[in-house]
Structure 1
Amino acid sequence: MSTHWRELVADKRRRQNESIPKEWLITTPPQSLLDVTKVPEQCGLLSAKELDITNTVDVAVLLNKLATSQWSAVEVTTAFCKRAIIAHQLVNCLTEIFVDRALARAAELDEHLKTTGKVVGPLHGLPISLKDQLPIKGLETTMGYVSWIGKYATRDAVLVEILYDLGAVPFVRTNVPQTLMWGETYNNVYGRTLNPHNRTLTCGGSSGGEGALVAMKGSPLGVGSDIGGSIRIPSYMCGTYGFRPSYGRIPYAGAVNSMEGQDSVLSVLGPLSNSLSGIKTFMQAVISAEPWLKDSLARRKKWDNDEYALVEHGSGKQLCFAIMWNDGQVIPHPPIIRALEMTKAALLAAGHKVIDWQPLQHRELCRLVYLIWTSGSGEDYKAVTAATGEPVLTSMDIVDENSEPTGTLNTFLPEQQHVSAYQLWQVQKEKTALRQKHLEHWNSTVQSTGTGRPVDAIIAPVAPYTAVPHGMNKNRRMTSSTKGMRIPMSYVIALSSIRFREFIRKANTASFYLPDDPATFSDAPVGLQLVGRSQEEEAVLAMTEIVDSALSQYKTSTSASRL
């Protein structure tokens, strides 16, 4: 095994450390402190004003203060840069750190506002973090591959270019798993990203660095990507909002990726934030920039105010939601079931209708998706890693970074299926037919809703469990076949051992994580996803706001603050 790749890693990590201002280093707490979400407020690095800025989770409020010069872009950027670097020291969430470049950009925006009295765009002065998939001119984008160290971008990705045009301030990029095709975040270049609510648990993946950073309030708005849950899983496991749009609504051109050329099940870019206003602001601003003029695969669909007003959904007056209690294969853990029960009660109390969703050939759909992903993935990974001899990871459960990776391939990185082009076409043909069956299945619910319409949206688990220990996230069936918005809800109080063992006795444990001690999940966030129809992003956003409001009112009226 070549040692050359380790030398490249050592140099890259040295350069990353040098990019952190030394005066921003903190005394890190012991590893025994599992929940580190309060450390930024306790470490003494952030001033009272910087805490006020970074604790302002409503992106609409941040943008208003920037536009009215109550806070300068330099002040806001400095505050989030400092908090991001605090977060990085605690959970290892960053890759590229470019403070000087971000502050120079912020200063230009302040000068523009001062001299013209106008903002540059709808995202004026807003710091935005980016998954390590989005090239920025002059910076490396490794995407967790040692072989890509030293490759500097000659131009911005299209989305980055648009964000600059909209007035945003990109300031850090965030960690990913090697290959991207994992529901956790670990690679040979930067190591592992931890869950800030409980550092013994995974932050999810593949946008795990974004999930952890946003959860630490180190970024008001982040950009991740999602092919089978890579935004929704980390936003779920870290307790933030996250949105996976339909193909083509957000431009992907210029981004780096795994399995490029596989165009049957496509990855998409989307936002993560601690506020729904952040999600909406991002989607509306980027779509309004007409990305189809810069990305040949972007769909020519403008922001639809009628869709956001739910004109085709009874104007939002009495919606009907279908709840998917399980996928027909695995029973979710009790906290997820309680979250579904709470959501049902909240929606009924708000005057909406709720019916049960019957899963349709869920196992078969996931099987087809995995066959498509693995038809050439093994060759793809080996082609990238061959240049330096770095090993292709076969497990996320790695404790000693100095030892060679061990373990067997799991459901996130299955064995490659050696198929001919004809055989792949047959799989894609089956997938298309099953998508049509799902559309017809959705439409058939018109007989059960009582609204004269099919169900307006589906509410489903993101996973059968909350965040799990590192290396144990081996089930993403509930996100591989859906798209939608992740809704944060509460935090897990450890179940009693008696109740949990009773659940284990009854549960179908296939592809499932069940610890001996339910306290394993202590402080893990809980949430759900809202799934809408294809190309209906505006409606999904609006319905998520309705569900979020109903849950807030229900929790207030019942004192049901924790699950």
Structure 2
Amino acid sequence: MEPSAEPEWRLLCARKRKDLQDSIPTAWRIPHAPIHDHPNVLDVPGTCGILNKKELIITETTDVNVILEKLKTAEWSSLEVTTAFCKRAVVAHQLTNCCTEIFVDRALDRARYLDETLAKTGKPVGPLHGLPVSLKDQFTIKGLETVMGYVSGVGQYADKDSVLVEMLNQCGAVLYVRTNVPQTLMWGETHNHVFGRTLNPYNRSLTPGGSSGGEGALVAMKGSPLGVGTDIGGSLRIPSTFCGLYTLRPSYARLPYYGAANALTGQESISSVLGPMTNSLSGVKEFMTAIIGAKPWNLDPVVIRKPWDEDEWNLSEHGGVGGQLCFAIMWDNGVVKPHPPLIRAMEMTKAALEKAGHKVIDWENHRHLEIYKNAETIFVADGNHDYKTECAKSGEPLITTMVPTKEEEVAEGYEYEPQYPFVKTLVGDPPEHRNAYELWRLHDEKRELRKSYLDHWQNTVNRTGTGRPVDAIISPAVAHTAVPHGLVTDSFYTTLCNALDYTTSVFPVTHVHPDLDRRHTRHKFYNYEDEFIYKLYETNIFEGCPVGLQLIGKTLEEEAVLRMTYIVDDALREWKTTNNLN
């Protein structure tokens, strides 16, 4: 028997992709839509004929509270809600390549069980009764492979659920798909050898971000009412802002991570955290109250024993609900200056908050470059050993750039070919491997930087006029909106929060408008990355892209940060209505 011309790792990828394709029910398949002819595909679920009228009503309902209420009262059955979102997820996957596992039969069986239990007992199974929930391809589910962007994951079936999966089942959720991630998880883009590249449904020539990019694309297509991703340097917030979503990056150990697959396992100075991604703030709150209410500290030994705090939700340390808040806007972090749409979004938010009676001041940056250097050095302290070890298990090569190959561009019909001098890459000299003592010194430096930043924040009490320090910071999550594939770089707006462990949300504000978002003239730049991002901006490429911002609170302020995000979101809605803006 002649040896195969293809290396074994490629054969494994092909087999896994075929399994994924075969999991799509024949009746739910749609004709191929070339990117060149159909860059924006948000309307396809409503026009392709796969979903019936009621299924479209269900999946177009973005308020998770409404869906849950209809499920708990049996106005909508879990079976029909699950079927609707399964269909829409499958359509979304065919257009954006967002899924890694589609297990419809398993999900429908679960939905039938929940419906039967509600009918027999008259009580919902839990706070998320009957709600379909999608998961990033890190959360292990018994009996399914957890690929996590590595070929070595193909054929590795989980023998038990991760704690989050266990708790979602306890809360009555229905799991039905898992979503794509980048190889290594440490990219703001979503691409790997096994499943390929995930596309942004607003413009498929652009990235949905990463590493939770599969979730971002799926939720933006309304193929999921509630998704769960993770974040170690912006992996929840980058795809959420690129895809027009809400999210919450909680502080370390507030939510249960135990049993999930991960990269850089054992690195605990800057911990990865999980969080929800949704089209509504109600989805974020329902997820947080459900999981925290189920006492995750009884299943994950790292989780902090902190029940949902109604006092914090009512802003007990921020003047109380209905009081005047003081927000600080970080117009520019001193590392990369934001693109014009981000500046306009901050101006809109400032105007909305001031009209609502709140104070807005400018944030004064503090030691950002030192924090940036410290965090990035910690991330690569192993000299890329983790990435290389995982790739060596299958023989697949380490992906060193997210820029599409010429073959990929031709096959997929991308309209945009990047020609820029700076693109994030792993090519070049490998990072220096740090010994244990050197790593400890980095940890010590990080602790000192956190203390310095806290003191700086506390000292804003002299500028707020409220008798309190700044209640929250508002800033870009990324210096730009969604960009062509391979061009996402770390502009540090997100990683700052991971390094300092600040609870952070993301909320959508507006969309790129060519007439309102013209390029600003600049002649001086902070660094070569700042210059690269400045030159990247062209309104004809980014027109219509979502523009979001992040709201930054202090450590373990999940309840208060979420409540303040509601306040900002409500103020923006009122301001837009008053000014006749979309």
Q: Give TM class, smaller chain.
A: over 0.9
**Code of the aligned partner of 1:215:** A
Per-residue deviation at 1:495? 4.8
> Residues 480 and 211 (structure 1 numbering): CA distance in 2 closer, same or farther, change over 3 Å?
same
Per-residue deviation at 1:381? 0.8
SS at match of 1:135: coil
Q: Is the 8 A contact 1:484 1:540 kept in 2?
A: yes
Q: Is the 8 A contact 1:16 1:97 kept in 2?
A: yes
Per-residue deviation at 1:216? 0.3
SS at match of 2:493: helix
The reply on whether 1:540 has 2:555 as its aligned counterpart is no
Per-residue deviation at 1:384? 0.8
Per-residue deviation at 1:161? 0.2
Aligned-pair identity in percent equals: 56
Per-residue deviation at 1:560? 2.9
Segment drifting more, 196-205 vs 20-29: 20-29
**Code of the aligned partner of 1:528:** L
Aligned to 1:376: 382
**Superposed counterparts of 1:135-154, under 5 Å:** 135-154=140-159
**Code of the aligned partner of 1:123:** L
Q: Is the 8 A contact 2:190 2:198 kept in 1?
A: yes
Q: Is the 8 A contact 1:146 1:390 kept in 2?
A: yes
Per-residue deviation at 1:418? 1.5
1:389-426: CA deviation from partner (whole Å, max 9, x where unpaired): 100100000235689xxx99965758322122111111
The reply on whether 1:553 has 2:574 as its aligned counterpart is yes
Aligned to 1:452: 467
Q: How many residues align?
A: 556
The reply on whether 1:175 has 2:180 as its aligned counterpart is yes
**Code of the aligned partner of 1:213:** L
Segment drifting more, 25-34 vs 334-343: 25-34
Q: Is the 8 A contact 1:2 1:390 kept in 2?
A: no
**Superposed counterparts of 1:277-288, under 5 Å:** 277-288=282-293
Q: Is the 8 A contact 1:87 1:213 kept in 2?
A: yes
Q: Is the 8 A contact 2:39 2:203 kept in 1?
A: yes
Structure 2: which 5+ runs fail to align?
A: 410-419, 498-502
Looking at structure 1, the residues matched to 511 and 403 of structure 2 have their Cα atoms a distance apart, in angstroms, of 24
1:123-166: CA deviation from partner (whole Å, max 9, x where unpaired): 00000000000000000001010011000000000000000000
Aligned to 1:24: 28
**Code of the aligned partner of 2:92:** A
The reply on whether 1:304 has 2:322 as its aligned counterpart is no
Looking at structure 2, the residues matched to 289 and 506 of structure 1 have their Cα atoms a distance apart, in angstroms, of 52
The reply on whether 1:119 has 2:124 as its aligned counterpart is yes
> Residues 126 and 140 (structure 1 numbering): CA distance in 2 closer, same or farther, change over 3 Å?
same
Looking at structure 2, the residues matched to 254 and 377 of structure 1 have their Cα atoms a distance apart, in angstroms, of 25
Residue from 94, 99, 116 that aligns with 2:99:
94
Q: Is the 8 A contact 2:234 2:494 kept in 1?
A: yes
> Residues 268 and 408 (structure 1 numbering): CA distance in 2 closer, same or farther, change over 3 Å?
farther
SS at match of 2:463: helix
Per-residue deviation at 1:357? 0.4
Looking at structure 1, the residues matched to 479 and 63 of structure 2 have their Cα atoms a distance apart, in angstroms, of 29
**Superposed counterparts of 1:434-445, under 5 Å:** 434-445=449-460
The reply on whether 1:431 has 2:446 as its aligned counterpart is yes
> Residues 115 and 148 (structure 1 numbering): CA distance in 2 closer, same or farther, change over 3 Å?
same
Aligned to 1:59: 64
1:517-562: CA deviation from partner (whole Å, max 9, x where unpaired): 421112211010000010110000000000000000000001232x
Looking at structure 2, the residues matched to 371 and 508 of structure 1 have their Cα atoms a distance apart, in angstroms, of 20
Looking at structure 2, the residues matched to 409 and 503 of structure 1 have their Cα atoms a distance apart, in angstroms, of 20
Aligned to 1:257: 262
The reply on whether 1:6 has 2:17 as its aligned counterpart is no
Residue from 471, 479, 496 that aligns with 1:481:
496
Aligned to 1:491: 511
Q: Is the 8 A contact 1:398 1:471 kept in 2?
A: yes
Looking at structure 2, the residues matched to 546 and 496 of structure 1 have their Cα atoms a distance apart, in angstroms, of 26
**Superposed counterparts of 1:292-331, under 5 Å:** 292-316=297-321, 317-331=323-337
Aligned to 1:510: 528
**Code of the aligned partner of 2:386:** D
**Code of the aligned partner of 1:171:** Y
Looking at structure 2, the residues matched to 509 and 427 of structure 1 have their Cα atoms a distance apart, in angstroms, of 24
**Superposed counterparts of 1:147-166, under 5 Å:** 147-166=152-171
Q: Is the 8 A contact 1:259 1:377 kept in 2?
A: no
Aligned to 1:465: 480
Q: Is the 8 A contact 1:327 1:362 kept in 2?
A: yes
Segment drifting more, 368-377 vs 135-144: 368-377
Per-residue deviation at 1:68? 0.5
Segment drifting more, 139-148 vs 323-332: 323-332
Aligned to 2:339: 333
Q: Is the 8 A contact 2:423 2:486 kept in 1?
A: no
> Residues 516 and 73 (structure 1 numbering): CA distance in 2 closer, same or farther, change over 3 Å?
closer
Structure 1: which 5+ runs fail to align?
A: none
Looking at structure 2, the residues matched to 476 and 257 of structure 1 have their Cα atoms a distance apart, in angstroms, of 23
The reply on whether 1:527 has 2:555 as its aligned counterpart is no
Looking at structure 2, the residues matched to 130 and 490 of structure 1 have their Cα atoms a distance apart, in angstroms, of 27
> Residues 204 and 52 (structure 1 numbering): CA distance in 2 closer, same or farther, change over 3 Å?
same
Aligned to 2:396: 390
Aligned to 2:415: none
SS at match of 1:341: helix
Aligned to 1:342: 348
Q: Is the 8 A contact 1:36 1:198 kept in 2?
A: yes
Looking at structure 1, the residues matched to 360 and 96 of structure 2 have their Cα atoms a distance apart, in angstroms, of 39
Runs of 4+ deviating beyond 4 Å:
400-403, 407-414, 504-509
1:493-527: CA deviation from partner (whole Å, max 9, x where unpaired): 22589x42x43556656314233742111221101
Looking at structure 2, the residues matched to 88 and 516 of structure 1 have their Cα atoms a distance apart, in angstroms, of 29
Q: Is the 8 A contact 1:95 1:132 kept in 2?
A: yes
**Code of the aligned partner of 2:24:** I
Q: Is the 8 A contact 2:70 2:76 kept in 1?
A: yes
Looking at structure 2, the residues matched to 451 and 437 of structure 1 have their Cα atoms a distance apart, in angstroms, of 22
Residue from 32, 38, 43 that aligns with 1:38:
43
> Residues 408 and 394 (structure 1 numbering): CA distance in 2 closer, same or farther, change over 3 Å?
farther
Residue from 224, 236, 239 that aligns with 1:231:
236
Q: Is the 8 A contact 1:330 1:464 kept in 2?
A: yes
Looking at structure 2, the residues matched to 363 and 463 of structure 1 have their Cα atoms a distance apart, in angstroms, of 16
1:336-375: CA deviation from partner (whole Å, max 9, x where unpaired): 0010011000000000011110111111101100100001
Q: Is the 8 A contact 2:180 2:215 kept in 1?
A: yes
Root-mean-square deviation over aligned CA pairs: 1.8
> Residues 504 and 35 (structure 1 numbering): CA distance in 2 closer, same or farther, change over 3 Å?
farther
> Residues 162 and 496 (structure 1 numbering): CA distance in 2 closer, same or farther, change over 3 Å?
closer
Looking at structure 2, the residues matched to 268 and 410 of structure 1 have their Cα atoms a distance apart, in angstroms, of 27
SS at match of 1:533: coil
**Code of the aligned partner of 1:443:** Q
Aligned to 2:432: 417
Looking at structure 1, the residues matched to 424 and 493 of structure 2 have their Cα atoms a distance apart, in angstroms, of 13
Q: Is the 8 A contact 1:72 1:110 kept in 2?
A: yes
> Residues 30 and 411 (structure 1 numbering): CA distance in 2 closer, same or farther, change over 3 Å?
closer
Looking at structure 1, the residues matched to 335 and 283 of structure 2 have their Cα atoms a distance apart, in angstroms, of 35
